[in-house]
Amino acid sequence: FVFHTYTTGFTLFNGNGTAKADYSIQEKQIYYSLGAISYAACVGALPLVFVNRYLSKSSLTQLVVRNLLPAPLLGLTSAFTVMVVRSPEFVHGIEVMDRNGKVVGVSQKAGEKAVKETALSRGLLFGTTFLLPPVLTHFVQRAKLVKTPRTLAAVRMIFVTSVLAGMLPVSLSVFPQCGEIKRADLEPEIVSSTEETELFYNRGI
């Protein structure tokens, strides 16, 4: 819950500002954010609840549910919260600009592209960050390279920090901050208002 609260707040304050400037949606976004946080936190916790109460206690089940399943779930829920919190951007659109930075119009299609790219990069970041450390830690345990739980916890934290530090620049660079979209892919009113073949938009973080 705390994790999704932080990432959702980060998303809320680092999206494209077009919709906020032109529409009174901040209150609605807060409600969307609270719903997304609650939903994502519950989805992330449910597998652990089921394995503790109803499922087999075998080592394979424990490995899958406790160590492997949370990573893709976290990636999916992180992408989901981005889509929900920034949904006004593809409902109302965001500004698109020419090469000189002149605003040509407001496009829903550009907003949809920006939100999808950000959601994908966020899912990649957290999904990978929480998938690799448990796998690496499992091999460390199998190889009996560490002998105490405290040392194992330290090794796990080193893995998490290293993977996060490596994946952060990767996730930010998968899609450029200044996104490009072809004029032909935009709304007819924008197509008719410029001769530029490619237009640009602020993707947000």
The pTM is what? 0.81
pLDDT tens digits along 109-132:
999 999 999 999 999 888 888 888
pLDDT tens digits along 1-34:
999 999 998 888 888 777 554 445 577 788 889 9
Note the pLDDT of residue 53.
72
**Structure tokens given for 48:** 């652990």
Provide the domain count of the chain. Answer: 1
Tell me how far apart the alpha carbons of residues 29 and 88 are, in angstroms, rounded to a whole number: 8
pLDDT tens digits along 164-204:
888 888 887 888 888 899 988 999 999 888 888 899 999 88
Average pLDDT, the chain: 84
Paired strand residues for 97 = 103, 200
Domain extent, residue 102, equals 1-202
How do 198-202 and 103-107 pair as beta strands? unpaired
Note the pLDDT of residue 54.
65
Note the pLDDT of residue 46.
82
Is-contact 89 16, C-beta < 8 A?
yes
pLDDT tens digits along 96-109:
998 888 899 899 99
Tell me how far apart the alpha carbons of residues 124 and 167 are, in angstroms, rounded to a whole number: 8
Note the pLDDT of residue 101.
86
